[in-house]
Chain A
Amino acid sequence: DQQVKQNSPSLSVQEGRISILNCDYTNSMFDYFLWYKKYPAEGPTFLISISSIKDKNEDGRFTVFLNKSAKHLSLHIVPSQPGDSAVYFCAASGLNFGNEKLTFGTGTRLTIIP
């Protein structure tokens, strides 16, 4: 039962353009959503998060949008840079954020083309 889904295993984007990574979830009890970036042979590193009471959160080049009615979130990276090439994971937590597990999607491999 995949409660967090990332339907695009891979995405290629030209340097300088916008990268949009998508994530869907099925569990309406999820309350907090996070994006992680992962390089090979390293652990996931936190990028940006959003609470269910918001529909948008920005941090520099990264913006996360949340559409609760559609159970959908997206990560926008503008402008995309070669260093952004990595695997991106969407993750979700319930109300007890920080004290309960994260549920992860299967990841999207982003390749930025110079």
Chain B
Amino acid sequence: DSGVTQTPKHLITATGQRVTLRCSPRSGDLSVYWYQQSLDQGLQFLIQYYNGEERAKGNILERFSAQQFPDLHSELNLSSLELGDSALYFCASSSKSGDGYTFGSGTRLTVV
């Protein structure tokens, strides 16, 4: 157990639908990051939140949004889903210690 919890592990949904992915960071970590991994490619950075505030944005589509709540858990909302949104979505949290970044086990999203 990495300390970062992601739910659900798997999600199958139809095109046009909306889903919410959830992430609970490692205890004490204030930053949460969302990454997308498609088809055995690298991890593409989507967005970062730090202590409830958006800190940085990557190549996140307008159909996607995220937020971080006062208890520091984060949600990634994906709407108007397309087949190409099928991917693994990882959440990570970080601190300034040596290994810094810890990843959750991911949510596998399949859009049919």
Which residues of chain A have a CB within 8 Å of any CB of chain B? 4, 32, 34, 36, 41-46, 49, 87, 89, 93, 97-107
Contact = CB atoms under 8 A, between A and B. Distances in A.
Contact of B90 (A43, A87, A100, A101): A43
A89 B48 CA distance: 20
Interface extent on B, as a size class? 20 to 34
A5 B79 CA distance: 31
Contacts, number: 75
Nearest to B96: A98
28 contacts: A4-B42, A32-B100, A34-B99, A34-B101, A36-B103, A41-B105, A42-B105, A43-B104, A44-B103, A45-B103, A49-B98, A89-B42, A93-B100, A97-B100, A98-B31, A98-B94, A98-B100, A98-B101, A99-B31, A100-B55, A101-B33, A101-B45, A101-B48, A101-B58, A102-B43, A102-B45, A104-B42, A107-B42
Contact of A102 (B40, B41, B97, B101): B101
B99 A44 contact: no
A45 B45 CA distance: 17
B75 to A, nearest CB: 18
A99 B96 contact: yes
B95 interface: yes
A107 B43 CA distance: 9
Interface string B5-49: 010000000000000000000000001010100001111110010
Contacts of A87: 40
B23 to A, nearest CB: 11
